[in-house]
Amino acid sequence: MTFCIVTHVPHGKNELSFFAYAPYVWEMNIWFKHTDRVTIVAPLNLKKKTDIEIDYLHDNISFVKVEGFNVLSVKSSIKALINLPKISIKIFMAMKNADHIHLRCPGNMGLIGCLIQILFPSKPKTAKYAGNWDMNAKQPFSYKIQKWILNNTFLTRNMKVLVYGEWENTSKNIKPFFTASYSESEKEPIVERSFENEIRFMFVGTLSNGKQPLYAVKMIEQLIKFNSKISLSIFGNGLEKQNVLDYIEEKKLTSNVFFIGNKPQEEIKKEYQKNHFVILPSLSEGWPKVVAEGMFWGCLPIATRVSCVPNMLANEERGLLLELDLEKDVIKINTLLLDFDEYKRKVANAVEWSRKYTLDSFENEIKKLLNK
Q: What is the pLDDT of residues 322-353, one digit of tens each?
A: 999 999 999 999 999 999 999 999 999 999 99
Give me the pLDDT at residue 238, please: 95
Q: Across residues 160-177, what is the average pLDDT?
A: 90
Q: What are phi and psi of 91, to 5 degrees?
A: -65, -45
CA 193 to CA 336: how far, in whole Å? Answer: 14
Tell me the per-residue pLDDT of 256-273, one tens digit each, with 9 for 90 and over.
999 999 998 899 999 999
Q: Which amino acid is at 96?
A: K
Fold classification of 185-354 is Rossmann fold (3.40.50)
DSSP-assigned states of every residue in 198-240: -EEEEEES--STTT-HHHHHHHHHHHHTT-TTEEEEEE--STT
Q: What is the mean pLDDT of residues 69-92?
A: 87
Q: Which residue has the higher pLDDT, 165 or 231?
A: 231
Short-list 45, 65, 126, 113, CA closest to 368: 126
What mean pLDDT comes out for the span 178-207? 92
Measure the CA–CA gap between 77 and 85, rounded to whole angstroms: 14
Q: What ranges do the domains of the chain cover?
A: 2-180+359-369, 185-354
Average pLDDT over residues 208-227: 96
Helix (H, G, I), strand (E, B) or coil at 180: coil
Topology of domain 2-180+359-369 in CATH is Rossmann fold (3.40.50)
pLDDT tens for 112-150 read: 999 999 999 999 999 999 888 888 888 889 999 999 999
Report helix, strand or coil for 133: coil
* DSSP three-state, residue 300: strand
Task: Round to whole Å and give the CA distance between 323 and 325.
Answer: 5
Kindly tell me if the per-residue pLDDT of 167 is higher than 90. no
The pLDDT assigned to 311 comes to 86
pLDDT of residue 71: 73
Closest CA to 256 of 300, 212, 218, 302: 218
Closest by alpha carbon to 106, among 154, 63, 161? 161
Which pLDDT value is given to residue 367? 93
pLDDT of residue 13 exceeding 90, the answer is yes
Please state, in angstroms and rounded to a whole number, the distance separating the CA atoms of residues 372 and 119: 25
58-62, 153-157, 357-361: least confident range: 357-361
**E strand spans, 219-362:** 230-235, 257-259, 277-280, 300-304, 320-322
Q: Binning pLDDT at 50, 70 and 90, where does residue 372 land?
A: low
Q: What's the Cα-to-Cα distance from 304 to each of 123, 155, 293, 308, 320, rounded to whole Å?
A: 39, 34, 16, 10, 8
Whether this prediction's pTM lies above 0.85 is answered by: no
Residues 6+ apart with CB under 8 A from 27: 128, 179
